[in-house]
Amino acid sequence: MKKTVVLAQPIHSAGSSILHQRDDIEVIELNPYSEEAFKEAIARAHAVILRVTPLPAEMIAAAPHLEIVSRHGVGYDAVDLEALNARNIPLVIATDGNKISVAELAFSFLLSLAKNQAVFDGETRVGRYNEVRAANSLFDVAGKTLFVVGFGRIGQEIAPRAKAFDMTVTIYDPLVDDSVITAAGYVPVASLEEGLRDADAVTLHCPKNADTVDLLNTETLAMMKPGSLVINCARGGLVNEAALFEALKSGHIGGAGLDVFVDEPTPGDHPLFNLDNLIVSPHVGGMSNEAAQRSSYRSAQNVLDLFDGKLNPEVVVNPEVLPR
């Protein structure tokens, strides 16, 4: 009997091809996606591969044959993990798919903000060459302190990039022992507050959960140095957007780079978009050509590994559901 794999959206051929090559696999690809089509397809699914599609409990309940859910990425806040656990269904992630791409985007935000590139570009194009040179400042990142919140796969990628630019790198991650951070050549800090007070810039690389929602808010943003920078390429909601707006508008936060927002797609009339000390992108950190290839291959291979009885527990978010 064939296993049915549902692709909620198309994925790169690096992943889809290894599914289509198997005679024992039926692939259903939704293009375009609709909730009705997804619900019809998932009723037949033994596996589902998700890019940005949410998977709530009611959709899981509509999938009686479901054996595995595979994320085309590493975030899973839009998947009802409790509902999967109740049925012993593993949730797997593409562990190394986007870590380089997200780290590079975060660091590009840092450099662009330090060099005031967005303002210089826009003003130079409209003939304000001398005026913008006189009115705006820029600074070097060398000698500055970058505070990295989260020392997982992406945090471990951005830290050496900052160090290569002669920055001091401080790390806060309550799940990682200080000795690991020190051995890697960075400075562990005991609390979020300590890291924020000493930082010239903070970049967030932690999951979104009850402990991290509004991690940066009116109170914590106020702890930062005047003119410091905020970067979030992790998940919308880690930064309180209303608080960030006020901090950017007042100039206390000198600039911010956001790839993620509370509401996505983000409406064009978002108040933050009226500020010129903000750089934004539409949640594309993991969408480089290389990341698409890596993530699609890993998300598909994780499914095949489960079917073949050789799933790597290290890619499983909820390993407690695996047979012992």
Exactly one of 12, 46, 153, 283 is catalytic; name it. Answer: 283
Question: Which one, of 228, 140, 211, lies nearest residue 172 by Cα?
Answer: 211
Exactly one of 71, 153, 161, 235 is catalytic; name it. Answer: 235
Cα–Cα distances (Å) from 171 to 147, 178, 295, in that order, read 6, 9, 26
Question: Which tokens sit at 311?
Answer: 């799933």
Q: Find out whether 278 and 251 touch, Cβ atoms under 8 Å.
A: no
Examine the residue annotation and report whether 241 is marked as an active-site residue of this protein. Answer: no
Q: Within a 13 Å sphere around the CA of 179, how many CA atoms are in the beta-carbon half?
A: 0
Q: What angle do CA 79, 12, 295 make, to 5 degrees?
A: 50
For the stretch 195-199, contacts whose Cβ atoms lie closer than 8 Å and that sit 24 or more positions apart, written own/partner, are: 195/147, 195/149, 195/170, 195/171, 196/147, 196/220, 196/223, 196/224, 197/223, 197/224, 197/225, 198/145, 198/147, 198/170, 199/145, 199/146, 199/147, 199/170, 199/224, 199/225, 199/228
Exactly one of 35, 219, 264, 290 is catalytic; name it. Answer: 264
Examine the residue annotation and report whether 246 is marked as an active-site residue of this protein. Answer: no
Q: Find out whether 148 and 159 touch, Cβ atoms under 8 Å.
A: yes
The beta strands (E) that lie in the chain are given as 3-7, 25-29, 47-50, 68-71, 91-92, 145-149, 168-172, 187-188, 201-204, 228-232, 253-258, 278-280
Examine the residue annotation and report whether 26 is marked as an active-site residue of this protein. Answer: no
Q: Is 3 helix (H, G, I), strand (E, B) or coil?
A: strand
**CB contact set of 313 (below 8 Å; sequence gap of 6+):** 319, 322
Q: Mind telling me the catalytic residues?
A: 235, 264, 283
